[in-house]
Structure 1
């Protein structure tokens, strides 16, 4: 005899609720419909499954035996459905993320490459621009999360997961060889033409804040869009550049530029993943977020963490 699966599903809910009315509410049907279904199941099985009491119903000894098997089947079905949903969710769908140039170079790209190799069916949409622009996209709901190079406490309304720490450096070409091999005060650097990311970027705001702390004017001679352009302009002798250290590594290794030994301490910054606490992410977006954060090397910045 092949049992009706729908009757078994209703039985499972009644056995869990121990009440026909509550089970009906869970199943979005009526109490009489549940009663008729259980009567039909008892006829099929040839035994009573429930005994009524003041609070509702309880299982008979035969009902307990049957419930043990139905429960196992329902749980297997639930787990199978979840695993299938996960498999389907990672075979298709799309993820939109915002990432600044520094975050891409310093953390995101290598992990994004690994994610794409594992889940090639997931479409990746990347929003570039500055960290501030990425935050606007996050607020509007255009992206799932953002990864940006920040200094502490810039975006207090967002959940921040700190991923890694990095430092910025001042670099110059041989046109400024008199600044080599000695401590150089920040005030002396600012007397020369200097080159920084354009206004509206976190790098610009970061260096501007440092100069303000030391009572120095901040007027860059040039404000290019990217770190590569900063390095190119420095290489050609147009001024002293300020860039994240990893962006200058290749030029430093080749000897095209050299790093200044700044007398004052330039505090480190972090690359952080930023998201809204209440924003619901798709399965694919959650998996990418986990891959981006799984080997984070910095503690959570929240005081109660």
Structure 2
């Protein structure tokens, strides 16, 4: 069944070509079908839109008024369809990613580099927050994807694990003697500990595990950055709890030393999350594919 929009498309094509036969050819319709469409539109509007001439047809005064508005509307629709297609092909679009400072530096950057290389016209917006804050931003629609320290317990967010990480304790030269043999958690908590701030998901994970062993952990120094943990331990201000995979340069160059524990803190994961109830944008889908490809 022909729709009102179809009638206007036929009307605009006839008005543009000043000919039923030329419009029919451009629309892949028969000339009688074009004539019927114009007659139907004229009936519905109770207005004559075209006047026949020996060379074709011309718009009536009423037809000119309608054409001016109808062609603008059709052009806007065409532009919208083109933008939609461009978005699907990632010729345009935007991608809003939420991530913590440390995860951004040690995990996310290579993916951003590759994504930008593949899709340079997609605008990137990176927001740095804690994991708990990122979950709120995902649910409010302010970001498309959150790169987080796992675990996350939120049934509204789809979680995909990407990279295993291990929480360890490290020290500088002053405390190097502590590395000679593994320590119990009872011994660890007696040391001057340097930990991330309490709202950090990484710290909450470590605290939860150690407290499950009947040991309560507290910090002498609390910091908001993983890099600061490393630097504070380097100048011997205490024992820092850090992510081993993000501290390799310090450990390999013997700037810091790992303090072994009798029982290791179980591995956890870096991963990403997005809202289950909302379809991902084309840009978000491609970025998720890139993250999953590297798993």
Superposed pair shares fold, TM > 0.5: yes
List per-residue Cα deviations over 1:126-174 (Å, max 9, x = no partner): 11121111111111110001111213x5333311111121111110112
Structure 2: gaps (5+ residues) = 1-20, 34-39, 45-80
Q: Any conservation in 1 of the 2:137–2:143 contact (CA below 8 Å)?
A: yes
Task: Give me the CA root mean square deviation.
Answer: 2.6
Q: Is the contact between residue 98 and residue 145 of structure 2 (CA under 8 Å) also seen in structure 1? A: yes
Partner of 1:229: 228
Give the match for residue 97 of structure 2: 97
Instruction: Report what 1:292 is aligned to.
Output: 291
Task: Check conservation: 1:108, 1:292, Cα contact below 8 A.
Answer: no
Match of 2:175 in 1: 176
After TM superposition, the score normalised by the length of structure 2 is 0.70
Q: CA deviation at 1:247?
A: 2.1
1:110-259 equivalent positions in 2, closer than 5 A: 110-151=110-151, 154-259=153-258
Contact 1:172-1:234 at 8 Å conserved across structures: yes
CA distance in 2, matches of 1:292, 1:187: 39
Distance 1:256 1:4 in 2: 73
Corresponding residue for residue 108 of structure 1: 108
CA distance in 1 between counterparts of 2:90 and 2:267 reads 36
Give the whole-Å Cα distance in 2 for the aligned partners of 1:89 and 1:269. 35
Q: Tell me, yes or no, if structure 1 residue 5 matches structure 2 residue 27.
A: yes
Report how many residues are paired: 228
Q: Matches of residues 72-91 of structure 1 in structure 2 within 5 Å?
A: 85-86=85-86, 89-91=89-91
Counterpart position of 1:46 = none
User: SS at 2:221's partner residue?
Assistant: coil
The question of whether the paired residues in 2 share the 8 Å contact of 1:102 and 1:149 is answered with no
Q: In 2, Cα distance between the equivalents of 1:138 and 1:168? A: 26
